[in-house]
Amino acid sequence: MGRGLAIGDIDNDGRLDAVVTSNDGALYVLHNSTQTQNHWLTLLLVGHKSNRDGIGAEVKLVTAKGSQMATVTTAGSYLSSSDKRVHFGLGPETVAGTIEIHWPSGIRQTIKNVSADQILKVDEPSAGPVGRGPSK
């Protein structure tokens, strides 16, 4: 019997949730309702020259406490797909000082001073080494 696991922020509260499936069986939603004072940032990348979902884009986020890396993917497990948005836990930090995105097209984009606790849509710039920043 195959089982699947998908991870994502189902209710858009910055805490990752999980969905577990099995062939011919029940679906289980593991909702993360942990109380926390920590901050987070989620990026929804939209490709224009690259693929529309930004799959394969590499993201580096830097705060005063250090850096984190993520790659845009939907890879999950058997017959499942995880959230394509990239999620970062920021701990006590309320601002991401720098976000660097290396799009599959080769375009590099830098965004500075991004506030925490939001889902930010970022459009791939049309060209150039440094992009326009987030879309509104």
Q: What is the pLDDT of residues 61-115, one digit of tens each?
A: 999 999 999 999 988 777 678 889 999 999 999 999 999 999 999 999 999 999 9
Domain assignment of residue 10, yes or no:
no
User: Is the pLDDT confidence value at 21 over 90?
Assistant: no
Which tokens is 31 given? 């909702």
Which tokens is 93 given? 């930090």
Percent above pLDDT 90 for the chain: 74
Domain assignment of residue 18, yes or no:
no
Domain assignment of residue 91, yes or no:
yes
Residue pair 105/50 in contact (Cβ under 8 Å)? The answer is yes
The position carrying tokens 């699947």 is: 4
Domain assignment of residue 96, yes or no:
yes
CATH code for the domain in which residue 64 is found: 2.60.40
Domain assignment of residue 98, yes or no:
yes
The position carrying tokens 């209710």 is: 11
Average pLDDT of the chain, as a whole number? 90
Provide the domain limits for residue 102.
Answer: 36-123
How many Å apart are CA 107 and CA 20, to the nearest integer?
36
Domain assignment of residue 133, yes or no:
no
Domain assignment of residue 95, yes or no:
yes
Domain assignment of residue 86, yes or no:
yes
Count structural domains, the chain.
1
How many Å apart are CA 87 and CA 111, to the nearest integer?
16
- Mention every residue, 6+ apart, whose C-beta is less than 8 A from residue 35: none
How many Å apart are CA 92 and CA 51, to the nearest integer?
34
One-letter amino acid of 70: A
- How confident is the model over 51-56, as a mean pLDDT? 94
